[in-house]
Amino acid sequence: METSPNNTLKPLLGLTPDELRGVALEAGLKPFAARQMAHWLYNKGVPAIDGMTNISLAARQQLATRYEVGQRQPALRQESADGTVKYLFQVPSGLRVETVFIPDGERGTLCVSCQEGCKMGCRFCMTGRQGFHGNLTAADILCQIYSVPERDRLTNIVFMGQGEPFDNLDAVMRATDIITADYGWAWSPRRITVSTVGLRKGLARFMDESQCHLAVSLHNPLPDERAQLMPAEQSLPIADLVAALRQYDWSGQRRLSFEYIVFAGFNDTRRHQQALVRLLAGLECRVNLIRWHSLPGEQDLATATDTEMEQMRDYLTRHGLRCTIRASRGQDIDAACGLLNTQRADDGTIA
């Protein structure tokens, strides 16, 4: 059972019905109360124990002496000119993370974080520059989902915020299991995408135990150049990762995608395009081309123009790869891909 280190109250979010059964017994309730609590937590999204109205007042008062639901009001809200909304959450352990809601017609996507900062050190990412400050619990992850005002508008969840999901896989898997469980939201796992730079640890477990979509951060098909961008290339070369992914069946509804930030003149030349086609040939997947948002102090990487992005897309498409250009959202509030960072700036504002 997860606890909040700096809070005497334990969160109920993140607990399974079996674990909630133990909570019920502590409060002198019958075991079936566990299903009642799960319904209030995950189906109704009640923000406080007092809202579990089919549980006796005395039992609710008893529960509230040791537990809380685990939802939190965001500490900060920023809205982009394009409608994207970024929230800052502070969790009981003291960690701070950013969560992004992206509206798109009838579609509402929530980009959630699983760590404060990140260990991966990708050269092009502000979260990587922040360094690693701690793992979130499943309760902390679910808090982001259940606490945003747009909760009822969500159609998709992507683990593409701060942190590397495979570096905190226990918490990520518990959160996705709850979202897709019949006692939870009963969402299809096809509405959830988990992103990774390609860590060897956790890959087989995720593939065998989860049916969520997988997105791999690729960014360069040439190993030496990819290593310049992403230290993770040293531990699991992209060729080995793709070879491992070829062992799985991608012909069904589960989707495999590769994320590719385009840097003008660095990873978008004809030899890169040809190498990417060779690397992914015959693999059922799609490639998402992403515009790079320049970072302070980075002089050697340049943002591709619209024409350069389109030329790369067209080449890959002509050579058999499904390829799209992902729309950039929320750049004006540092909510776009690679810009999340909760480190405080010198003037005391959120970076």
Q: Is 150 exposed, middle or buried (0-12, 13-18, 19+ CB in 10 A)?
A: middle
Question: Which residue out of 125, 143, 323, 337 is catalytically annotated?
Answer: 337
Active site (annotated) includes residue 284? no
Question: Which residue out of 98, 116, 164, 233 is catalytically annotated?
Answer: 98
Q: Whole-angstrom Cα distance, residue 313 to residue 296?
A: 28
* Coil, helix or strand at residue 288: strand
Q: Whole-angstrom Cα distance, residue 217 to residue 230?
A: 9
The residue type found at 187 is W
Q: Whole-angstrom Cα distance, residue 246 to residue 205?
A: 16
Active site (annotated) includes residue 143? no
DSSP class of 305: P
Q: Residue 235: count other Cβ atoms within 10 Å of its Cβ.
A: 12
Task: State how far Cα 232 lies from the chain centre.
Answer: 18
The residue type found at 267 is N
In degrees, to the nearest 5, what angle opens at C-alpha 193 toward C-alphas 246 and 350? Answer: 130
Residues annotated as part of the active site: 98, 337
